[in-house]
Amino acid sequence: MSRLGERGGWLTGAAAVAACVLLVAAPVAGASKAKLAIYNVTLGLTGEASEVGSGMCPPDTEPLGTVCEVNDHATFHVDEEFRDAIFVTGKGHARFALPTDAGGFRHVVNGSADEMGKAYEVVGEETQLQPFACSTSLRATVPDADASHQLSWRHRHGSYQFTAETESYGFEGVASGSGKCNGEGWFGNGLVLYPPESHARFTISASEIGRRSFTKTVGSDPAHSTCGSKNSDTGSCSYTWSWHAVVKFERKRLSPL
């Protein structure tokens, strides 16, 4: 949310845009070349991740259903739209505080994963270590029905540094296959433990602001981490994660200050 003026209230979205337009109606001395630029921003993020674990069952035990070995791979795509991102372009500055975030209006997750490994299952009258294999379609662990994810930014040293929230709790899926096929790979809700990987961060030059449209392609550095509770004294588990995103700015209004 954003505060306009020293005594104003907190405004967001269309209300913030309307307030800004009203405030810039009166000319400001020395700022005639500055303009208010309002954009809609879309983000398409594509990523993949894998999880490898072995020796994760305690020795001399046969806990029914426990996964002892796992090898997962997932690909996913997140589409988001943020509206009414407000900036100043040109010479001069605004005489009021501009918003530094924009609300989400669309958040769609698609993806798939393959999972295989070994788990203890009942075979006849015995509990044995059995192989399993699954395929699953991914979706957001907690659906963002009201598109509450935010795009936020700060202006620093001639550029804008952006952070786009892409996922809050990772992904889940309904699996089908053999054996322990319940979709409980890394994608279940692992990202809640690793919030940096669920945000897309990028920087654009302030000189881009004012153009009718422009696109930024960004990527993440590969992340490597352990799998939290899936580790035990007898084994290991780790996952890797990477993504790239295309961010497009579409100008919807350009008003003089």
8 A C-beta contact, residue 84 and residue 17: yes
pTM over 0.85: no
8 A C-beta contact, residue 42 and residue 34: no
Domains contained in the chain, number:
1
Place of tokens 């598109």: 147
The first and second tokens of residue 197, run together, are 């990987």
For residue 147, is pLDDT > 60? yes
Q: Which residue has the higher pLDDT, 32 or 38?
A: 38
The partner residues of 52 in beta bridges, in order of sequence, read 71, 238
pLDDT at 100: 94
What residues make up the domain containing 227?
Answer: 2-256
Q: Which among 176, 178, 177, 198 has a CA at the least distance from the CA of 186?
A: 198
Binning pLDDT at 50, 70 and 90, where does residue 214 land? Answer: very high
Lowest mean pLDDT among 25-39, 67-81, 117-131, 196-210: 25-39
The first and second tokens of residue 149, run together, are 């994810």
d(CA 72, CA 127): 24
